Amino acid sequence: MEPAWNDILTPPRPKSSKTILVAGGAGFLGSHLCELLIRKGHRVVCIDNFSTGRPENVRHLRSSGAFTLLRHDVVDPIDLKVDEIYNLACPASPPHYQADPIHTTKTSVLGALNLLENAARYNARILQASTSEVYGDPNVHPQVESYWGNVNPFGPRSCYDEGKRCAETLFHDFSRIRGVEIKIVRIFNTYGPRMRPDDGRVISNFIVQALRDEDITIHGDGSQTRSFCFVDDLVDGFLSMMASPASLTGPVNLGNPVEFTVAELAGQVLALTGSRSRIVHRPLPTDDPRQRRPDISLAMHELGWQPRVVLAEGLKRTIAYFEAVLAAERRKLTEVA
């Protein structure tokens, strides 16, 4: 369960208060970011087309007096006078971004272009939430920011991978040509409360399957690795990057450098939920990375940032959230019946 937020919804407004645009602010990451920004005393304008974001993720923020929610698709131009912009607008799980790959590419490319134009118009600093997927199925391990990646340009994941790579290009070109103050972070696997039950990524899949006592589905033999960062740590990294000197444009990796196999993750979820689920194996999806772990030396040195929440603790908090979500779903079904 998430805590009550009454104590953070009317924070004092400091002299340094800013008006901040969060694109994709009703999504998993965006809603946590909006919440943190309001807690810091800023005014937040959240835009979202609700393709994967949900109004209930930010409903508790509406009474703050510092939060505005607008339905808007970043594929369309925008004109809002703000001090800072965070671009988190794009589905991030393979089932969601592959459902409409053309729109996914448009969201990454046209969305970045439209937000950059708005930043240039009002001299706003802007942060791009890029992704570790720009490294593809990496031949360098752990992944450092200087690695150019190993990406399939026309596979089923390319709409996301290449869209984010192109967005980074646009950010750097707007910095060089138009003088826009840019920040780019590359996000590694992140998890926590407010993930959707149908998110499609490995942690949410395993937890939901375990809580329903369904088979836990491992693609491949489970030896592929991931590094899992709790959402609170990640959004702290966003703020640290945004506040860094203008000379630090990025990209900067943000993620947890502790590496686990997918099989180890499944074992932890089973142990923490007490589930009776069996583990079953399915074929690996096309272009699924074999290894994923960030080198966060740059973030540690330049931002003083590193994750604090260990996987076991983060899983407990995420499991508690999903237990509440699934219990609410069961109550609704009972009422309908």
Task: Judge whether 124 and 87 are in contact, CB under 8 Å.
Answer: no
Out of 86, 135, 160, 191, the active site residue is: 160
Task: Judge whether 124 and 85 are in contact, CB under 8 Å.
Answer: yes
Buried b (16+ CB within 10 A) or exposed e, 104-143: bbbbbbbbbbbbbebbeeeebbbbbbbbbbbbbbbeeebb
Residue 322 DSSP symbol: H
Residue 160 designated active-site: yes
Return the axis-axis angle of helices 231-242 and 28-39, rounded to nearest 10°. Answer: 60
DSSP 106-170: HHHHHHHHHHHHHHHHHT-EEEEEEEGGGGBS-SSSSB-TT---B--TTSTTHHHHHHHHHHHHH
Residues designated catalytic: 160
